[in-house]
Amino acid sequence: MNSQSVPQSHPQSHLPLTAHADKCAHCGRPLIHPGTVVPFVGVVGPECKTKFTGLLMLVAEVELLQFNIDDQGSQRLASGIMRTLQNIGFEVKKRIDLENRTLWLEVCSRRVTKRGSDMVKTWEQVRAEFEQRLQLAAAEREVHFGASA
C-alpha cells in the first residue's frame, strides 16, 4: 500500500493566545482585559470566542483533506469546498502534488475577505451543507487513500 503524508500549509498550536486590543474584532465591544486571538479573525472578547470554535475546527479539518487529481468527483468536491470557504470569507488556494497525484486546499493564514461577524453569520447559514461535503470528502479519502493509522 502506498503511504502518503498529508499536506499541511501552516501547522498551528491549538493553545489559545491572548492579546491586548481596544475592541473585539467580532462585535466591536471595548475590551478591558486581554482578548483571545482567533486566527483569521483577530482579537475577540470572552463572549465571542466560542462562536469561532466551529470555524477553526473546519479550517483544521479542511487542511488535512487530500483529493485525487485523477478523479473528477474528487476534483468537484475540492472545488465545492473551496467555493464554500470563499463564500464564508476565507482566502483559499489549491495546491497540487503531481508526484503523489493529490491536491489539497490551503487556507491562507490570517487573510479573510469579510469581518468576523459576517463570517459567523455566513458559516451558520451553510453549516449543514458544508458538513455533508466534509463527510463525502472523508469517505472519498478512505476509498482512495485507505485508512490512516
Its pTM stands at 0.65
Give the model confidence (pLDDT) of 70-97 as tens digits: 988 888 889 988 988 888 888 899 999 9
Give the model confidence (pLDDT) of 111-138 as tens digits: 666 677 677 777 777 777 777 877 877 7
Per DSSP, helices labelled H in the chain are: 46-49, 53-64, 72-88, 116-145
User: What kind and span of H or E run contains 104?
Assistant: strand 102-112
Q: How confident is the model at residue 98 (pLDDT cuts 50, 70, 90)?
A: very high
